[in-house]
A and B are shown apart, each in its own frame.
Chain A
């Protein structure tokens, strides 16, 4: 479904990604783990078009994303739920969700998806008219995920959904991610919480200073002594 092929990316003169290749097949949850600054967020930015790779190619369902601007990539079926949640703080919860459906015009479908998001995260339904900036961190994360779902993506990019959240809320978010995946949404998940991510993912990649150093199934990586030493604190 998604193929990242030998991508290198730079910010000015600083190299962020070096020759990164990875693949996500339809129906999978694939996770990308690694330390701070390893290039996880840049990888997602290169897929959603916020950052354009210097070399290499990103293709989605066979289509080269290189020349496609970010605002058209979401129209192809890729929704990016960015790091740090980035909800629109001075818009209400409902307005934020509505923006998630900006690319759509099927009124009935959008209404149904509003309901679907409120079913997944009941707290959002209770806070429809509240400004997003006044929500707690966990609620903002739920809103960010819900907003991404409003685009009806086939591939969902999630960047650090557990960052700074209480364990109970992290559980909720992961439960939703797994449920979404079972309903047919493919997920590429970037996480610092490697244990949680590997437990739920079909496959994983380890990113170190801009390069992929290990890959395998979630279970394999969980059992790998190098992963355990570096990312699981064992």
Chain B
């Protein structure tokens, strides 16, 4: 019993890391624009396809040792840049022209962008590459090669803690720590926090609000790209609707944590991952959405601003 719980907690933790990374992208954009980027999950999906394309193009499954490690790092780096670029471009092309429009306009556009990106995923899924299964079935899940070492660090124990678990958790924590430093210690971070609270006054301070918004989309997209590689290497399956499903969970995580709140997104992501794993084990996988969204509703009933959402009263 103890082992089962421990094993599920570990699985939940690693999954939760991915949710948290994607949730950060939702929450950062919401924090600044009060806008939910429904296409964010699809940036995550396209990034996974991009990573798989690199894996195929570079013949990665045939590599090993230091070469494999180097190539994997390059894939992580390039996919992060790819996710950042896609997210930034979507903002410049679609959302930016609607900045002064009523809030519903960019929201509906984001749903549209989500469909467009999913269709790009379908077209991409038809790529005539071996890693895409020859491209015969665009919508079918593609298997992403298991490239991370699966050696059990706990040796003879019946518990398994694989090297890849440790890698996923360590890499995610490093990225989150980097984000924390960026937001709290750098000039850009200062500008982001000021813009999130009062964009008009931020401009009076000399902050180029438009550039800050662009940077936010870049960072959020980069996190989604990074998360996509982590997810693909861990779960080993990518498909064109993975962004919709995981995006919905990550968005839920962001709301549970308190949308707009950065530590809240991490907390919500981890919580969601853990609850999901435990619910799959003890209640049944078919109940997963019911359990997760049931908890979401409960949390919102009792804490409408989310777990860490701002409830501080402000004097006027």
Contacts and interface: CB of A to CB of B under 8 A. Distances in A.
B90 interface: no
Interface in A78-117: 79-80, 82, 84, 86, 88-91, 95, 98-100, 102-103
Given A133-B315, A136-B315, A90 B203 contact: no
Interface stretch (B57-65, B72-80, B193-201, B246-254): B193-201
Given A82-B200, A88-B201, A90-B193, 16 more contacts: A50-B200, A71-B208, A74-B205, A86-B200, A88-B194, A89-B312, A89-B314, A91-B197, A99-B202, A99-B207, A102-B194, A102-B205, A102-B206, A133-B312, A134-B312, A134-B315
A36 to B, nearest CB: 18
Interface in B185-235: 187, 190-191, 193-194, 197-198, 200-209
17 contacts: A48-B204, A50-B200, A50-B204, A71-B206, A71-B208, A80-B204, A86-B201, A88-B194, A88-B197, A88-B201, A89-B197, A90-B310, A91-B194, A102-B205, A134-B314, A134-B315, A135-B315
Contacts of B206: 71-72, 74-75, 102-103, 151
Nearest to B195: A88
A30 B193 CA distance: 34
Contacts of A84: 316
- B187, B191, B198, B205 — most chain A CB neighbours (10 Å): B205
Interface string A59-87: 00000000001111011000110101010
Contacts of B313: 133
Contacts of A74: 204-206
Contacts, number: 76
Which 7 A-B pairs give the minimum distances between C-beta atoms?
Answer: A103-B206, A133-B314, A70-B203, A86-B201, A89-B314, A74-B206, A102-B205
A164 to B, nearest CB: 9
A74 B205 CA distance: 7
A70 B204 contact: yes
A110 B209 CA distance: 23
A31 interface: no
Given A86-B198, A88-B194, A88-B198, A102 B315 contact: no
Contacts of B198: 86, 88
A56 interface: no
A104 to B, nearest CB: 9
Interface in B285-316: 310, 312-316
Contacts of B207: 71, 99, 102
Interface size class on chain B is 20 to 34
Given A71-B209, A74-B206, A99-B205, A131 B194 contact: no
A70 to B, nearest CB: 4
A125 interface: no
B195 to A, nearest CB: 10
A187 B175 CA distance: 47
- B191, B202, B206, B315 — most chain A CB neighbours (10 Å): B206
A135 B316 CA distance: 9
B149 to A, nearest CB: 44
Nearest to B208: A71
B120 to A, nearest CB: 34
A140 B266 CA distance: 32
B148 to A, nearest CB: 40
A187 B203 CA distance: 20
A103 to B, nearest CB: 4
Nearest to B193: A91
A57 to B, nearest CB: 21
A103 B200 CA distance: 16
A39 B290 CA distance: 55
A69 B194 contact: no
Nearest to A157: B204
A89 B198 CA distance: 9
A131 B201 contact: no
Nearest to B313: A133
B193 A71 contact: no
Nearest to A134: B315
Contacts of A48: 204
A136 B316 CA distance: 9
Contacts of A134: 312, 314-315
